[in-house]
Every structure is written in C-alpha cells, then in structure tokens.
Structure 1
C-alpha cells in the first residue's frame, strides 16, 4: 500500500502519508537505514531516484509553479535563468540565487503540501510574472495541448492581467513562435488567418489571399524539411508567395523580419492575382 503511495507521489511524500498507508515507524526507519528512502526535510522522504525539482520543493516547503512548472508540463516557455516557486504558507521560503518566489494568492485552492501547482494556478502566475507576449505563448501552448480549456479559464477567478492574456489566446497555435508572430502582426490592415488548410496541409499564416508565412521550429529538419520544401513549391505553382522564418528571425531579429513582410505587402503579394 505504501509503495503505491510512493508511486502516486512520484517518489516524494510526507512520512505521515506513508504511516497512513500502513508503513510502521520501524519499517520507515529501516528503509532510511538501508538507503531505499532518504529523509529530505522535516516530515518528508524520497526515493533516491526521485525528481530533483520535487525534492527541492519538499525541502524548501515550496510549490513548483509559474514558468518552471509550465516547462515541466511540456509547455512553451521562453528561456528563463530562474526557477519559479509559489510560497504556499508562512515559513516556506528559501532565498538563494536563481530562485524566484511568488506570494500571490492561488486562483484555485491549493492542496496542503502540494509540490506542484494546478495548471490554472500555473498559468495565473505566468500571466502576472511574465511579459504579455511570453505569457500568451505559454497559455496558447496549454490550450493547444488540451491541458486546460478556454471555458475553464473563463470561469476561473482570474485577475486583470490574466484576463488580458486569455483574451489574446488561440488554441490552434502550434508553437510559441506562432504566438509571437500573430500578436505582432494583428495591427496590419490585412486579413490574417492562422492554421489554414491549403493543398492538403496547414499553413501557419495566410495574409490576404496569397501571402503565406511559415514559422519553423526545431522539428523542421530532415524528412519534415523535405516535405515543407515540396509543399512550398506546390504553393508557388498555384500563385502563392511563401515566406519562411525560423526561431532567430522571430525572437532576435524581428524588426528585419517584419520589414520583409511589410515589403511583400507593399508589393501587393498578398492580393489575389
């Protein structure tokens, strides 16, 4: 029974929960003596192979949240040199370099001694902590991966910044790069459509009727790159103009990238010919 509890807790749990699951104090002490369990803080134990992030949270009496937990969930997160934790209760603090602590009240009630925040609390922290574009990219990723629905977010007691982030989300964004491009081009007096099907495949952006923007992430290599090139060629034969941009052009060289797009629009390449 206690082994199941350890498995459910991903190898990090409170000793009181193991006792409740049937592990005697003597058996617990023997497990620690053998090294099959490690005491990692007052009232906490972990298996030697436990996730270091969860071990750290238990030691410091913190909850993994914001961009740190978002990244652990596989969501798009812009590079961050810090680890972000929520402070769930008084005394749950550990001040050291590279740690960012959040004291905001959780949107959803947090389980006592939770080591990982709920997805809605995570996104709420992201909205308050990160720049707007970065937050929208993470929220888009959560919606796209179906870790949360727009309805759940709309019904949550979100603050003003989170509401503004929610307003700008698009669950069809396949990558954070697409989020940045969408937000940065929405001012254009040209119709901008996302994830549109043309000739059997989706294109990332269609401006007007004929200008296509394709945003390449890390998966656009090898066989995928060959498929992309073939599709680009087919689109060109049909009268479309395809502009393809990568990570650096979106995240580091945006003014130059935007000027290329604007030059294409000024040349009328977005209009039906």
Structure 2
C-alpha cells in the first residue's frame, strides 16, 4: 500500500517540506483533488482524518503547547477545554482561539512544527498553571521518562520553573498525588508516596498507617473492583484507608482535608 504523503499521525505539513522529500506539486494537487488531502491554508495541507487540533494549529499558524500538548502526550489532564497554543514572540496578528503563549521557547522550535517539544511544554506549564497543577504535569512527564531533571536544570527556565525542579519527582504515578502532598506538608507528618503494602503500591501513607488512595479517571470497572479488594487486604494488616476521587481533590479539597484531619485527630495515623 502506498504510504500517504501526510498521515493522520503527522496531521498536517507545509508544502515546502513535502517538496523537499521529493513529492511534486502535481502529486499534491492530485491528492487534494481526490480528497486524500485538504488545503488548510496557503502553503499547508493536511490528512483528511488528522487530529482537528493539529489542523486548527496549521490553519492559525500556531503550535500546540502547555496543558493542551501535555494532555496529548498522555500527561495529567487538568480538564481545560480551551486549547493552549504558542506563537512566536514577534508574530503578527494571531486569530487562534483559546490561550496564546507568546514567550520565547526554552528549546528552539523547528520551522513548520505544530507540537511543542516536552521541554517547552513543561516550561510554559510552570508559568501558566497554579503550582500544584504544574507540579502534577511535571511529575507525570518525569514518571513516563519523557524528560529528566538534570536536563531540565540546564534549560533557561523562569523562576517558576526553577522552583518546580526542587519539588518534582519521577516517582509519582498520579497527578492528583502531586496536588495532595504539597497541601498536606503543613501537618508535619511523614508523607510517603507509592509505598508498597499488601502486594501493591498505595498512593500516600500518612504517618505509620493512614493510607490515602486517590482515584483518577481510570478507576472504573475491573480496576475499581481490584482497588476495593486491595483496600480490604490493607485494612486487615492494620492500616486505615481513605479513598478519594478527582472531583473531591480538585473541587472539594476542604472536605477531603477535613476527613484527613479528623482521622489524624483520632490517632489513626499511628499504630497501637
């Protein structure tokens, strides 16, 4: 089967870049006439089944970045509907919808690219998002091995990015974890992430035996059943389990904190 000039994975491409690879203008025109490609704007074409976000970025002359690109890379999704895109600092009028970032990138962008590299994504997230949200995305990138702290330290980051380097860790598997731990440090109790208990890791161990389990969007169906079974095994070992979800942590934190404080007040974080 003939490989498409612009496949869905690439989304869209500049005509000049296709010409460099040996594709002729005539072939591009034929592909457009056959409906295999669509003309996005002057000098740009896209696969008909390409990601609408990539097509929009090509149309508007911007680059997907910040929380939008973080979500596309499989990092923690903060649930923002409006796209975050980047434009050159000295670009003219940009008609893109959503939030436009104009700052100079930490890593130079290849001409014609529509997606920011992970280093730029994290640098912009650090400036754009609240600290706990940004830390969640950074930890998610580190945990997945998309970037490492030593490399981030060598980048020309802003003060907000430098502050996150001191807090970020590759050992956090949950964005919600990264939100919760900074909010509980004032308790002045041991807070151990990803501790192995009863054959599986728990999200957070507070003190000696108070377990906080944090459910993301994937905790449904069989996963939910396995979580409940594990909770029972953990409690049989003498631990106390508090299980909370995304909405509770992000939108009703005062309620979650109140439950934890009442558990601590009763000494449920201590053995004996």
After superposition, the Cα gap between the structure-2 partners of 1:233 and 1:41, relative to the gap in structure 1 and judged at 3 Å, is same
Contact between 1:77 and 1:134, CA under 8 Å: does it hold in 2? no
Aligned 1:23-38 pairs, distance under 5 A: 23-38=23-38
After superposition, the Cα gap between the structure-2 partners of 1:35 and 1:232, relative to the gap in structure 1 and judged at 3 Å, is closer
Contact between 1:5 and 1:21, CA under 8 Å: does it hold in 2? no
Matched, 1:112 2:115: no
After superposition, the Cα gap between the structure-2 partners of 1:92 and 1:48, relative to the gap in structure 1 and judged at 3 Å, is farther
RMSD of equivalent CA atoms = 2.0
Contact between 1:87 and 1:93, CA under 8 Å: does it hold in 2? no
Aligned 1:36-51 pairs, distance under 5 A: 36-51=36-51
Question: How many residues of Structure 1 are paired with residues of Structure 2 in the alignment?
Answer: 271
Contact between 1:32 and 1:38, CA under 8 Å: does it hold in 2? yes
How far apart in 2 are the matches of 1:32 and 1:148? 38
How far apart in 2 are the matches of 1:23 and 1:95? 30
Match of 2:62 in 1: 62
After superposition, the Cα gap between the structure-2 partners of 1:25 and 1:252, relative to the gap in structure 1 and judged at 3 Å, is closer
Deviations along 1:37-89, one digit per CA (max 9) or x if unpaired, are 22211211112122221111111111111111111111113121311111036
Task: Give 5+ residue unaligned stretches, structure 2.
Answer: none
After superposition, the Cα gap between the structure-2 partners of 1:199 and 1:31, relative to the gap in structure 1 and judged at 3 Å, is closer
Contact between 1:241 and 1:269, CA under 8 Å: does it hold in 2? yes
How far apart in 2 are the matches of 1:33 and 1:219? 43
Matched, 1:94 2:111: no
TM-score between both structures, scaled by the size of structure 1: 0.92
Matched, 1:155 2:154: yes
Task: Give 5+ residue unaligned stretches, structure 1.
Answer: none
After superposition, the Cα gap between the structure-2 partners of 1:40 and 1:224, relative to the gap in structure 1 and judged at 3 Å, is closer
Q: Which runs of 4+ in 1 moved over 3 A?
A: 2-5, 89-93
Matched, 1:218 2:217: yes
Deviations along 1:126-152, one digit per CA (max 9) or x if unpaired, are 111111111111111111221111222
Deviation of residue 213 (structure 1)? 1.0
After superposition, the Cα gap between the structure-2 partners of 1:11 and 1:262, relative to the gap in structure 1 and judged at 3 Å, is closer
Contact between 1:127 and 1:161, CA under 8 Å: does it hold in 2? yes
How far apart in 2 are the matches of 1:113 and 1:231? 49
**DSSP 3-state at the match of 2:6:** helix
TM-score between both structures, scaled by the size of structure 2: 0.92
Contact between 2:135 and 2:164, CA under 8 Å: does it hold in 1? yes
Aligned 1:160-171 pairs, distance under 5 A: 160-171=159-170
Contact between 2:13 and 2:112, CA under 8 Å: does it hold in 1? no
How far apart in 1 are the matches of 2:165 and 2:266? 35
**DSSP 3-state at the match of 1:193:** strand
**DSSP 3-state at the match of 1:45:** strand
